[in-house]
């Protein structure tokens, strides 16, 4: 009998190879076997450990060599293409798990062998996946963090029958033992509540199983920190603005802080625009039709959830123009206003990761500026949006204007008949953002 010791030309050579994150995926003859006819396997190696997934094909060394050389319409090439389909399936599953930050060999085994779709865990995962398909990456990440925490504490493939007060109490205890804040626990509970409400609507969970509420036998979802404190008054905005000088923009150690300060001020002066929308902001038709006096965008966070597209118009007041003059690209139809922020990336998932890192990085730089100008609050980019709403309110600007300017969905039917504010009014109101009392 021929054994694996009588090596063929391609005996130890992979038919297909792919690297996903730090996981190496190869289609090879099972190296653990010394039989003449051996199983073909997809081997996934990660952190020096390996997982083997059989493709269902067995072949000897001669056939393995033929697969490597196969081309055209030969029988060997048909087999080769079938093996490639299986290999691609494994690559796809590994990629999905890394994108969802859920990769493990146990999880990979689970998704390759087929998941039980009649479980609460599967429903929760499907909600997360649908959010990603809709482009709502932020919400998906939040629910995914909650799901990962729940799975780690309670387990995977949790059936609908197990959902109730007792299970949520057990999970909550685990989170408290792990040192999670009450605000984070509340966020995770709300993520779970979405899946539970869906399960009740689908008839998979009885209303009596619903675990949350104010009753003594229910679990109360903790509220997060009030956002009313997360703002800077105009006096502090002006302090931050005064940090930025032409000299500091030229010094390597401070020019990066100046950039963060100006992105914060841009967000504040541009109707509280969040960083994702700043990164995706383009010079569209509205900009040119207004002769460069206004920017217009659709808020990324609400574009998938609003019944109709909400267009937000930003008047370019002089202080906003100064920021554009220094940091923005030359106006060109449909080009990014700040192309350096995304550095040419177009993949939605990677853009989300870039914006997340930028938010953290800008927050770090802003705190350095705040310390120098004696602002005691732990400011971040989020403060810009809250400051816009709060300071215009304090200036006596109508709630209706602030709501329209920030792109809040108006559920009042009559709101659809209210004409937008004139360009002159928009400039007048937004100019109040830099006037201290």
* pLDDT tens profile 22-49: 999 999 998 887 777 788 999 999 999 9
Distance CA 66, CA 77 (A): 9
Q: Verify that 342 and 278 share a domain, yes or no.
A: yes
The answer to whether residue 223 sits within a structural domain is: no
The answer to whether residue 10 sits within a structural domain is: no
168 alpha-carbon distance from chain centroid: 26
Token reading at 263:
């992105």
Name 207's Cβ contacts closer than 8 Å, sequence gap at least 6.
200
Q: Verify that 241 and 387 share a domain, yes or no.
A: yes
The answer to whether residue 3 sits within a structural domain is: no
Contact indicator for 388, 272 with CB cutoff of 8 Å: yes
The answer to whether residue 382 sits within a structural domain is: yes
Model pLDDT, residue 18: 94
Backbone angles phi, psi at 244, to 5 degrees: -75, 120
Contact indicator for 381, 274 with CB cutoff of 8 Å: yes
Q: What percent of the chain shows pLDDT beyond 90?
A: 48
pLDDT-based confidence at residue 212 (cuts at 50, 70, 90): very high
Model pLDDT, residue 291: 96
Token reading at 258:
């100046």
pLDDT-based confidence at residue 8 (cuts at 50, 70, 90): low
Model pLDDT, residue 399: 86
Nearest residue to 2 (alpha-carbon basis) of 66, 58, 61, 67: 61
pLDDT tens, residue by residue, 335-379: 999 999 999 898 888 898 899 999 999 999 999 999 999 999 989
* Domain end point (choices 63, 81, 111): 111
pLDDT, average across residues 382-399: 90
Distance CA 382, CA 264 (A): 9
Distance CA 431, CA 317 (A): 7
Q: In what order do the strands lie in the sheet with 16-20?
A: 16-20, 23-29, 38-46, 49-59
Say how many Å lie between the first and final Cα of the chain, rounded.
94
Q: Verify that 181 and 307 share a domain, yes or no.
A: no
Where on the phi/psi map is residue 72: left (φ > 0), alpha (ψ -120 to 50), or beta? left
pLDDT, average across residues 387-409: 87
pLDDT tens, residue by residue, 266-318: 999 999 999 999 999 999 999 999 999 999 998 766 555 445 567 899 999 99
* Domain end point (choices 163, 178, 209): 209
Q: What is the DSSP letter of 296?
A: E
Long-range contacts of 31-37 (CB under 8 A, 24+ apart): 33/4, 34/3, 34/4, 34/5, 35/3, 35/4, 36/1, 36/2, 36/3, 36/4, 36/60, 36/61
Q: Verify that 430 and 289 share a domain, yes or no.
A: yes
Name 55's Cβ contacts closer than 8 Å, sequence gap at least 6.
27, 39, 40, 41, 42, 83, 86, 87
SS3 73: coil
Per the model's pLDDT, the better-predicted residue between 415 and 404 turns out to be 404
Q: What domain range includes position 139?
A: 115-209
Q: What DSSP letter does each residue of 346-396 carry, written as one string?
A: --HHHHHHHHHHHHHHHHHHHHHHHHHTT--S---THHHHHHHHHHHHHTT
Q: Verify that 188 and 320 share a domain, yes or no.
A: no
The answer to whether residue 398 sits within a structural domain is: yes
Contact indicator for 267, 383 with CB cutoff of 8 Å: no
Give the Cβ contact number of residue 422 at 10 Å.
Answer: 9
Q: Verify that 100 and 122 share a domain, yes or no.
A: no
pLDDT, average across residues 328-333: 96
Contact indicator for 167, 150 with CB cutoff of 8 Å: no
Q: Verify that 301 and 350 share a domain, yes or no.
A: yes
Q: Verify that 279 and 401 share a domain, yes or no.
A: yes
Model pLDDT, residue 416: 36
Q: How many domains does the chain have?
A: 3
Model pLDDT, residue 5: 40
Contact indicator for 42, 94 with CB cutoff of 8 Å: no
pLDDT tens, residue by residue, 154-203: 887 788 889 999 999 999 999 988 888 888 899 999 999 999 999 998 88
Name 56's Cβ contacts closer than 8 Å, sequence gap at least 6.
86
Q: Verify that 22 and 129 share a domain, yes or no.
A: no
Long-range contacts of 248-253 (CB under 8 A, 24+ apart): 249/326
pLDDT, average across residues 90-113: 84
Give the Cβ contact number of residue 67 at 10 Å.
Answer: 19
Q: Find the CATH number of the domain harbouring 168.
A: 1.10.150
The answer to whether residue 344 sits within a structural domain is: yes
Q: Verify that 276 and 385 share a domain, yes or no.
A: yes
Q: Verify that 142 and 162 share a domain, yes or no.
A: yes
Average pLDDT, the chain: 86
Residues comprising the chain, all counted: 437
pLDDT tens, residue by residue, 115-152: 555 789 889 988 998 888 777 777 888 899 999 999 88
Distance CA 292, CA 15 (A): 57
The answer to whether residue 403 sits within a structural domain is: yes
Model pLDDT, residue 115: 54
pLDDT-based confidence at residue 3 (cuts at 50, 70, 90): very low
pLDDT, average across residues 84-109: 87
Q: Verify that 352 and 273 share a domain, yes or no.
A: yes
Model pLDDT, residue 215: 86
The answer to whether residue 6 sits within a structural domain is: no
Distance CA 273, CA 266 (A): 8
Distance CA 406, CA 389 (A): 8
Give the Cβ contact number of residue 353 at 10 Å.
Answer: 14
Distance CA 41, CA 29 (A): 6
Exposed, middle or buried, 49 (CB in 10 Å: 0-12/13-18/19+)?
Answer: exposed
Model pLDDT, residue 46: 94
* Domain end point (choices 181, 209, 237): 209
């Amino acid at each position: 009998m021929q054994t694996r010791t009588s090596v063929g030309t391609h005996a130890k050579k992979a038919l297909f190879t792919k690297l996903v994150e730090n996981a190496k995926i190869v289609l090879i003859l099972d190296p653990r076997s010394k039989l003449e006819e051996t199983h073909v396997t997809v081997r996934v190696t990660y952190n020096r450990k390996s997982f083997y997934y059989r493709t269902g094909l067995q072949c000897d060394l001669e056939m393995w060599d033929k697969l490597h050389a196969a081309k055209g319409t030969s029988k060997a090439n048909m087999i080769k293409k079938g093996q490639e389909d299986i290999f691609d399936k494994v690559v796809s599953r590994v990629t999905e798990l890394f994108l969802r930050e859920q990769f493990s060999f146990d999880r990979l085994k689970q998704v390759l062998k087929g998941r039980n779709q009649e479980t609460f865990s599967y429903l929760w995962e499907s909600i997360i996946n649908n959010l990603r398909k809709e482009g709502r990456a932020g919400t998906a990440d939040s629910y995914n963090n909650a799901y990962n925490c729940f799975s780690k504490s309670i387990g995977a493939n949790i059936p609908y029958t197990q959902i109730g007060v007792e299970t949520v109490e057990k999970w909550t205890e685990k989170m408290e033992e792990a040192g999670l804040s009450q605000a984070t626990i509340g966020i995770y509970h709300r993520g779970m509540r979405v899946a539970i409400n869906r399960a009740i609507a689908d008839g998979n969970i009885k209303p009596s199983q619903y675990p949350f509420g104010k009753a003594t036998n229910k679990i109360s979802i903790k509220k997060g920190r009030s956002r009313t404190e997360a703002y800077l008054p105009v006096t502090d905005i002006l302090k931050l603005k005064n940090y930025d000088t032409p000299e500091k923009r030229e010094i390597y150690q401070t020019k990066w802080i100046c950039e963060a300060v100006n992105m914060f001020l841009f967000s504040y002066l541009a109707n509280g625009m969040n960083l994702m929308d700043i990164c995706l902001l383009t010079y569209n038709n509205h900009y040119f039709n207004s002769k460069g006096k206004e920017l217009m965008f659709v808020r990324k966070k609400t574009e998938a959830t609003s019944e109709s597209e909400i267009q937000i118009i930003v008047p370019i007041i002089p202080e906003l123009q100064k920021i554009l003059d220094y940091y923005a690209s030359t106006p060109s139809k449909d080009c990014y206003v700040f192309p350096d922020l995304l550095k040419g990336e177009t993949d939605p998932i990677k853009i989300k990761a870039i914006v997340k890192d930028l938010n953290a990085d800008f927050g770090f730089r802003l705190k350095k500026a705040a310390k120098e100008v004696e602002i005691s609050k732990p400011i971040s980019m989020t403060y810009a949006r809250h400051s816009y709403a709060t300071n215009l309110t304090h200036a006596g600007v109508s709630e209706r204007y602030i709501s329209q300017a920030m792109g809040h969905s108006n559920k009042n039917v009559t709101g659809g008949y209210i004409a937008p504010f004139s360009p002159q009014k928009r400039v007048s109101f937004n100019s109040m953002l830099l006037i201290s009392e």
